[in-house]
């Protein structure tokens, strides 16, 4: 038995999300189908994090086991061949040991959310950014985001359908930067609640629009109530960018 570690890039637009769903094609299903096509083995692919429908990945990590042994570079080439119908690319394949687990071995996960701020809507980046016509105040959003760093009860930014046993999480960093018309929200933690990043960004946008103050944002966090938070940012601006092991 050989365990393979994959680094995966994908455009989440046509998928129902990472995980198997009854209502359409998932990234997990596309990968498992491609693996079976070249290896003739049915496998289950495990990911570092489950992304929702429409969410993208630049550095998703996954693993699977095969009875037959193939060189890592041949696995990469074969998977990219069979994945051609889908916007999925296998960037790297490594042989690893059975102690490695894409999800449970992770030490940090990194997400980035992108907002495009300009008068004209996106042509090339449609479905890859959140288009916001009005300018946003970066400094005020960063001031608000700073209160999220550390260990908190994130109920305010937790989806109602979240299945996590606890709303408590620890954010290691939250950095907001701007390059021309693009605003990047980069956040790092061991793990996240369902919709946590999108809900935090949706509330920070209210601060950027001067509809909320940083103090309002802090009070929303402390309220520990989803009803006290802002809207959920759309999925197309979110990217799973990296995992640290």
Length of the chain: 245
Torsion sign (Cα): 155, 160, 165, 169: negative
CB contact at 8 A, 93 and 5: yes
Q: Return the structure tokens found at 200.
A: 């935090």
Cα–Cα dist 244/48, whole Å: 10
Cα–Cα dist 144/218, whole Å: 7
> Annotated catalytic, 65?
no
Residue 188: alpha-carbon gap to chain centroid? 11
Residue 161 is given by DSSP the state T
HEC per residue, 172-194? EEEEEEEECCEEEEEEEECCCCC
The H-assigned helical ranges of 40-116 are: 72-82
Q: Give me the helix-helix angle, 214-223 and 138-145, nearest 10°.
A: 30
Choose the catalytic residue: 52, 153, 181, 216: 52
- Class of residue 28 by CB neighbours under 10 A (exposed 0-12, middle 13-18, buried 19+): buried
The residues annotated with a catalytic role in the active site are 52
């Amino acid at each position: 038995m050989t365990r393979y570690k994959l680094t995966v890039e994908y455009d989440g637009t046509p998928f129902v999300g990472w995980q198997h769903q009854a209502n359409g094609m998932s990234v997990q299903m596309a990968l498992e189908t491609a693996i079976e096509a070249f290896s003739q083995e049915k496998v289950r692919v495990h990911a570092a994090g489950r992304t929702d429908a429409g969410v993208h990945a630049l550095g998703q990590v996954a693993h699977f086991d095969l009875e037959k042994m193939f060189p890592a570079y041949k696995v990469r080439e074969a998977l990219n061949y069979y994945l051609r119908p889908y916007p999925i690319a296998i960037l790297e394949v490594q042989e690893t040991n059975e102690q490695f687990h894409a999800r449970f071995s992770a030490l940090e996960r990194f997400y980035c959310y992108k907002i495009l701020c300009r008068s004209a809507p996106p042509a090339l980046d449609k479905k890859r950014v959140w288009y916001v016509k009005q300018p946003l105040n970066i400094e005020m959003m960063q001031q608000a985001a700073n209160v999220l760093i550390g260990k908190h009860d994130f109920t305010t930014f937790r989806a109602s359908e979240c299945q996590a046993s606890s709303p408590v999480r620890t954010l290691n960093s939250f950095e907001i930067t701007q390059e021309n018309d693009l605003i990047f929200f980069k956040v790092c933690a061991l793990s996240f609640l369902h919709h946590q990043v999108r809900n935090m960004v949706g509330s920070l946008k209210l601060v950027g629009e001067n509809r909320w103050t940083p103090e309002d944002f802090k009070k929303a966090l402390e309220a520990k109530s989803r009803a006290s938070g802002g809207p959920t940012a759309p999925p197309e601006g979110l990217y799973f960018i990296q995992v640290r092991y």
